[in-house]
Amino acid sequence: MRRLNRKKTLNLMKELDAFPKVPESYIETTATGGTVSLIAFTTMALLTIMEFMVYRDTWMKYEYEVDKDFTSKLRINIDITVAMKCQYIGADVLDLAETMVSSADGLVYEPVIFELSPLQREWQRMLQIIQSRLQEEHSLQDIIFKSALKSASTALPPREDKSLQPPDACRIHGQLYVNKVAGNFHITVGKAIPHPRGHAHLAALVSHESYNFSHRIDHLSFGELITGVINPLDGTEKIASDHNQMFQYFITVVPTKLHTYKIAAETHQFSVTERERVINHAAGSHGVSGIFMKYDISSLMVTVTEEHMPFWQFLVRLCGIIGGIFSTTGILHGIGGFIVEIICCRFRLGSHKSTSVPVQDGHLNNHVPLVTEDAMQ
């Protein structure tokens, strides 16, 4: 009884077979079919390799939402070299809340030589080339995000030559923590002096002939400092053409959460617009000589996430490639064989018509003559 049930089940499963097997004695192989099969297998192998490379790759996904964090402090990372001595200049931040952040809270004034060494000049040249490429090809920013920890530090390398030249510039570097509101970070003549109505800079003791706000921005970023990420102003160098010159940078800061397979950090991206002009009160160009960076915080926050293709999706795409190539090559091979068969049939019909035998009365005899026994003998 069990054997009978087993046979019934086996017969039922055979009837449900969607892949019937054809005996090998009924299969006819041809040279054209083998050629098409070879082309199909080669194409499948190439597409499978390319699909595997796509599966291994990752991409960055951008999501936008309203930034609801207004209580935390914003960190500003600064590394700027000004072509003036440290005792002549002062740096501080004044925001819209009338809160003043002095440079003494986190910035260091270091006397240096403004002219770069050959190694440092080469570093700056390469950084400027990367900046120009980033402006043309925005997709490179995704590569920088993904390879942040694998990249070398973007900081200016130390001098390799021991110059005996006395320091003629001041390197201002460090961090400042400010409120998450619009503000103005500036470097101008004289040290900052706070007072009830704001603040002022003690510039009376500095002569106008010593003003020189030529500067180099080795690094400027907002938020957590991430090694390997290049910011828009890194490597910027400006040379002043006049003693009384103002350099302005209008910066829009966008809070950014970065989540990759190598790093997870809360940083800030920013865009910048530059402007410079000579201060000439007689010509109507008013202002104060110096370097002014006016920043504004965006209300939107960007979440950048590195994503990878799921394995099941890779299998589905792989099955689509294999099945699609099999079906397409089979259809093309059938159409090609049908066309060749039609052409060959026409040639055969033409060859039968050309075997007509002429008769003496001028008519064509298309009948095949009968073969008799005498003729065979």
Average pLDDT over residues 85-102: 79
What is the token pair recorded at 230?
Answer: 């290049």
Pairwise pLDDT comparison (274 vs 341), residue with the higher score: 274
The model's pLDDT over 126-142, given as tens digits with 9 standing for 90+, comes to 888 888 877 777 666 66
pLDDT at residue 111, rounded to an integer: 92
Pairwise pLDDT comparison (145 vs 178), residue with the higher score: 178
The model's pLDDT over 230-281, given as tens digits with 9 standing for 90+, comes to 888 988 999 998 888 999 999 999 998 888 887 788 888 898 999 998 888 7
Distances (CA, A) of 26 to 21, 29, 175: 11, 10, 82
pLDDT at residue 352, rounded to an integer: 55
Q: What is the secondary structure of 8-35 as a DSSP string?
A: HHHHHHHHT-SSPPPPGGG----HHHHH
pLDDT band at residue 339 under the 50/70/90 scheme: confident
Pairwise pLDDT comparison (371 vs 139), residue with the higher score: 139
The model's pLDDT over 49-72, given as tens digits with 9 standing for 90+, comes to 998 888 888 888 888 888 888 778
Closest CA relative to residue 134, chosen from 60, 270, 221, 232: 232
Say if residue 330's pLDDT is above 60: yes
Say if residue 315's pLDDT is above 80: yes
Say if residue 150's pLDDT is above 90: no
pLDDT at residue 360, rounded to an integer: 52
Closest CA relative to residue 188, chosen from 258, 247, 117, 126: 247
pLDDT at residue 100, rounded to an integer: 67
Closest CA relative to residue 246, chosen from 313, 187, 181: 187
- Please, what is the angle between helix 311-353 and helix 31-56, to 10°? 160
pLDDT at residue 376, rounded to an integer: 45
Say if residue 25's pLDDT is above 70: no
Lowest mean pLDDT among 28-42, 44-58, 139-153: 139-153
Domain extents for the chain? 68-298
- pTM for the whole thing? 0.69
Q: What is the secondary structure of 120-177 as a DSSP string?
A: HHHHHHHHHHHHHHHHH-TTHHHHHHHTTTTSPP-SPPPPSS---SPP-EEEEEEEEE
What is the token pair recorded at 122?
Answer: 């080469």
| Phi (first) and psi of residue 228, to 5 degrees | 100, -15
pLDDT at residue 57, rounded to an integer: 82
Q: 178 pairs with which residues across the strands?
A: 74
Q: 285 pairs with which residues across the strands?
A: 280
pLDDT at residue 216, rounded to an integer: 93
Pairwise pLDDT comparison (335 vs 110), residue with the higher score: 110
Q: Give the 3-state secondary structure of residue 181.
A: coil
In the chain, which ranges are E strands?
Answer: 58-66, 73-82, 89-95, 100-102, 107-112, 169-179, 183-189, 191-195, 198-202, 215-223, 236-238, 245-259, 264-278, 290-297, 300-308, 357-358, 364-365
pLDDT band at residue 328 under the 50/70/90 scheme: confident
Task: Please state, for a pLDDT cut of 90, what percent of the chain lies above it.
Answer: 14
Q: Give the 3-state secondary structure of residue 187.
A: strand
pLDDT at residue 71, rounded to an integer: 79
- Amino acid symbol at 176: L
Say if residue 123's pLDDT is above 50: yes
Alpha carbon 143 to chain centroid distance?
A: 5
- Amino acid symbol at 14: K
CB 302 within 8 A of CB 255: yes
Average pLDDT over residues 167-179: 90
Q: Give the chain's end-to-end CA distance (angstroms, integer).
A: 74
Say if residue 324's pLDDT is above 50: yes
- Sorted by sequence, the CB contacts under 8 Å of residue 363 that are 6+ apart come out as none
pLDDT at residue 373, rounded to an integer: 46
Ramachandran class of 98: left when φ > 0, alpha when ψ lies in -120 to 50, beta otherwise = left
Q: Rounded CA gap, 213 and 243, in Å?
A: 8
pLDDT at residue 250, rounded to an integer: 95
pLDDT band at residue 83 under the 50/70/90 scheme: very high
Pairwise pLDDT comparison (195 vs 317), residue with the higher score: 317
Say if residue 296's pLDDT is above 80: yes
Cα radius of gyration (the chain) = 40
pLDDT at residue 371, rounded to an integer: 47
Distances (CA, A) of 81 to 110, 112, 155, 162, 266: 9, 8, 13, 19, 27
What is the token pair recorded at 203?
Answer: 């510039």
Residue that has been written with the tokens 């065979």 in this structure: 376
pLDDT at residue 260, rounded to an integer: 82
Say if residue 291's pLDDT is above 90: yes
Mean pLDDT of the chain: 79
pLDDT band at residue 18 under the 50/70/90 scheme: low
